[in-house]
Homo-oligomer: A and B are copies of this chain.
Amino acid sequence: MIDFRSDNTGRAAPQILEALLRANHDTALGYGADQWTASLQERFSELFETAVRVFPVATGTAANALALASLGPSWGLVYCSDVAHINTAEANATGFFGGGTKLVTIRGNHGKVDAELLAESLAGIAPGQLHRGRPIAVSLTQATDLGAVYTLAEIRAVAEAARERGLRVHMDGARFANALARLGGNPADLTWRAGIDIMSFGATKNGGALCDAIVVFSLDLADALAVQLRRAGQVWSKMRFASAQLIAYVENSLWLQMARASNKVAARIAAGLRDIPGARLVAPVEANEIFLELPSATMDALEADGFQFYRRSGTLTRFVCRFDTAEAEADALLAALRRHLDPAAAPRAAE
C-alpha cells in the first residue's frame, strides 16, 4: 500500500517526540506556567521577529475556532473561501465557539479569498445595519484547501480590503510551513507585516503529533483568549509536553525541512503529470497537495494497485505528500497513472 490519503495519516518527526521525552524530568507548574512554555514564547517571538503570544492547542479545529472567536462579538460575520476547512470540515466549530458566528463565503482562485470580491461583499453591508450581523474578520487558508499558495501581494490585498472596513485578519496556517517553504522569505513578512492579527500555526500535518498552536500578533487579543482557552478545555495542565514539541518543531528549521520535503515530492508528481493525458489538475501544485480530476475507472484501478487517496467526488481525487513520502512512491504513482491513462504507454499484450 502506498498512502497518499492525508498528511495526518503519517508519522511524527522523531525529533519532536524525543523533545517530549526530554521534557519529562522534575516538576513544573501547570497550565503553561512552566519554563518550556516560557521558552516557547521566546522562540516564536524570535522566529516572527516581534513579540508574540503562543498558545499550544490540541487540534487545528480548536486553533481556528478559538482564534476566530477572539476577533469580535458572537454576532460576527467571518469571511472565508467556500472551500476553506473551517467552512467544510470542522463541523461548524467556528459557529459553536463563536456563540453563533456566521461564515460568509467569498470566491477566488484555487481556494483563495479574492480581495476584490471581498471588498465588494463588504461594500454591500451598510455600517450599523442590524439584520445581517456584523463583519468582524476574514480568514485566509495558507496553503489553501486546493493546494495553492497565497503570494505576499495577495495576502496584503485581502488584509487591506479587510482593514478598510475594520475587520481583523486570521490565517489558518495548518500548512503554513508548506507555504513558507514555497514562497521563501521569512515568517514575519508573510504574517503580521502583511496584516495578519492572529494565526493558527499548524504542526500536526507537517510531522507533528498532538499539538498545534495559536500565534497572536495583535497582543490586545491575548488575555481574553487565554481565559477562553481555559474554558474551552484547551489548556493542558502538563503544558510542558506540548510546548516542548512545538519548540522542537521549529528548532534547526526542522519544520521547513519537512515542508520542503513534502512540497518537493508533490512537485515531482505535478511535473510528471504534464506528460499524462487525461489527468487534469484543478489547481497549481504549490504545496504538498495534488487535486486531480480522474476518470472513475482510473480511481478504481489505482486502488487495485494499492494506492490510497481520497475521492472528493466522482471525478476528483486528492493526493497528499507527507514529509516522509518517498520519491519512489511518487514515481510509482506516476507510472500507474501513465499505465491507466496513456494507451501509448501501455505495454502491448501481444508483443
Residues of A within 8 A of B (CB): 3, 5-6, 8-12, 14, 17, 20-21, 24-31, 57-63, 65-66, 73-75, 77, 88-93, 95-103, 128, 130-134, 204-205, 208-211, 223-224, 226-228, 230-238, 241-242, 308, 322
Contacts and interface: CB of A to CB of B under 8 A. Distances in A.
Nearest to A26: B11
Contact of A95 (B58, B95, B130): B95
Contacts of A232: 62, 93, 96, 232-233
Given A30-B6, A75-B227, A227-B73, A65 B95 contact: no
A26 B62 CA distance: 26
A126 B97 CA distance: 25
Contacts of A100: 92-93, 95-100, 231
A236 to B, nearest CB: 6
A235 B28 CA distance: 27
Nearest to A224: B73
| Main secondary structure on A side of the interface with B | loop
Nearest to A89: B131
Contacts of A60: 237
A63 to B, nearest CB: 8
A8 B231 contact: no
A178 B280 CA distance: 51
A207 to B, nearest CB: 10
B227 A210 contact: no
Contact of A61 (B65, B92, B132, B233): B233
A189 to B, nearest CB: 29
Contact of A236 (B29, B59, B97, B132): B59
